[in-house]
């Protein structure tokens, strides 16, 4: 009601609002323009990244769908999926302990949990590379090292979404279930889990996207044959700029977009973006 009066006042003197809309339109062009340009470039007929594209062809898309690019893409998908599963599995008990219990060292544990979010990812990547070399796990640099690194940097996102969904869970529910004779495992399975499922799903989605789009950590831990798509694109950018790259870029953009669209339909993600469901 008040909001309506407010916006009516804005519009009554439409000057500033119109100005704001113009500025906002400019910001959208700035924000989405380069992505749209990349998409257009991938349909070039020439072998240079012209914009506006000259002619129309799908040959760069054909080339983007050869093993040279599909392999790193599948590698990234595999890495992202394992990362999402593992980081959510690890985040669940952690978030539960932090939310439900007050104990000595809790603050330190919160700092430890948020640490990977606070420190530059690049630095963690260098540190992990050094660790793996130091303890003689050189042969594990590649998928194993990448998985460990991605789980560590993605866990804070999952802890956060699970914590948010735990806030909406009334603590009495578990007591009620227990007083009705349910075992802790049964309570967890039939009461807690269904109620925090959306938090788990959101955490897994954010973890997947963070893993799928990461460069800063991956550049240090990849090895030939075990290269995530982002690192592959980055390496290629130094040599050539054929429109193939544009097509590959669009594919890597579409995959998370489709994932988010599906999950948003099924279980909702928007609630977890601001950080407070009730806010």
CA distances to 12, 19, 26, 103 from 7, in Å: 8, 15, 22, 48
- For another protein, the binding residue among 117, 144, 169, 242 (CB under 8 A) is 117
Phi, psi of 223 (to 5 degrees): -140, 160
Tokens standing for 36?
């749209």
Pattern 144-163, binding to another protein, x per CB under 8 A?
A: ----xx-xx--xx--xx--x
Cβ within 8 Å of residue 156, ≥6 positions away: 113, 114, 115, 116, 117
Q: What is the 3-state secondary structure (H, E, C) of 118-163?
A: HCCHHHHHHHHHHHHHHCCCHHHCCHHHHHHHHHHHHHHHHHHHHH
Q: Between residue 190 and residue 219, which ones bind another protein under the rule CB under 8 A?
A: 209, 212-216, 219
| 171 lines the binding site for another protein (CB under 8 A) | no
| 178 lines the binding site for another protein (CB under 8 A) | no
Query: Could you tell me if 145 and 221 are in contact, meaning their C-beta atoms sit under 8 angstroms apart?
Result: yes
Query: Could you tell me if 162 and 91 are in contact, meaning their C-beta atoms sit under 8 angstroms apart?
Result: yes
**Minimum distance between the CB of residue 140 and another protein, rounded to whole angstroms?**
12
- For another protein, the binding residue among 74, 173, 175, 237 (CB under 8 A) is 237
**Minimum distance between the CB of residue 251 and another protein, rounded to whole angstroms?**
10
Number of residues near another protein (by CB under 8 A): 100
| 137 lines the binding site for another protein (CB under 8 A) | no
**Minimum distance between the CB of residue 128 and another protein, rounded to whole angstroms?**
5
- For another protein, the binding residue among 18, 58, 74, 131 (CB under 8 A) is 131
**Minimum distance between the CB of residue 97 and another protein, rounded to whole angstroms?**
4
Q: What is the 3-state composition of the chain as percent helix, strand, coil, each rounded to the nearest 5? A: 75, 0, 25
| 18 lines the binding site for another protein (CB under 8 A) | no
**Minimum distance between the CB of residue 32 and another protein, rounded to whole angstroms?**
7
* Nearest CA among 229, 227, 226 for reference residue 252: 229
- For another protein, the binding residue among 77, 85, 126, 242 (CB under 8 A) is 126
């Amino acid at each position: 009601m008040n909001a309506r009066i407010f916006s009516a006042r804005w519009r009554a003197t439409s000057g500033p609002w119109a100005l704001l809309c113009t500025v906002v339109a400019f910001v959208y062009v700035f924000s989405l323009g380069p992505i749209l340009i990349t998409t257009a470039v991938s349909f070039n007929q020439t072998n240079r990244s012209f914009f506006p594209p000259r002619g129309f062809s799908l040959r760069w898309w054909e080339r983007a769908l050869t093993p040279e690019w599909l392999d790193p893409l599948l590698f990234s998908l595999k890495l992202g999926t394992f990362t999402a599963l593992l980081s959510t599995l690890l985040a669940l008990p952690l978030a539960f302990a932090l939310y439900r219990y007050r104990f000595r060292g809790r603050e330190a544990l919160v700092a430890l949990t948020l640490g990977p979010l606070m420190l530059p990812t690049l630095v963690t990547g260098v540190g992990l590379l050094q660790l793996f070399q130091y303890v003689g796990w050189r042969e594990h640099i590649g998928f194993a090292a990448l998985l460990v690194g991605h789980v560590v940097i993605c866990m804070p996102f999952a802890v956060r979404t699970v914590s948010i969904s735990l806030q909406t869970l009334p603590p009495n529910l578990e007591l009620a279930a227990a007083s009705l004779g349910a075992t802790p495992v049964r309570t967890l399975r039939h009461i807690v889990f269904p109620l925090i499922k959306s938090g788990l799903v959101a955490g897994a989605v954010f973890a997947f996207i963070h893993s799928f789009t990461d460069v800063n950590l991956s550049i240090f831990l990849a090895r030939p044959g075990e290269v995530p798509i982002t690192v592959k694109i980055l390496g290629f950018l130094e040599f050539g700029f054929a429109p193939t790259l544009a097509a590959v870029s669009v594919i890597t953009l579409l995959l998370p977009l489709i994932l988010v669209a599906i999950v948003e339909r099924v279980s909702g993600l928007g609630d977890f973006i601001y950080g407070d469901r009730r806010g």
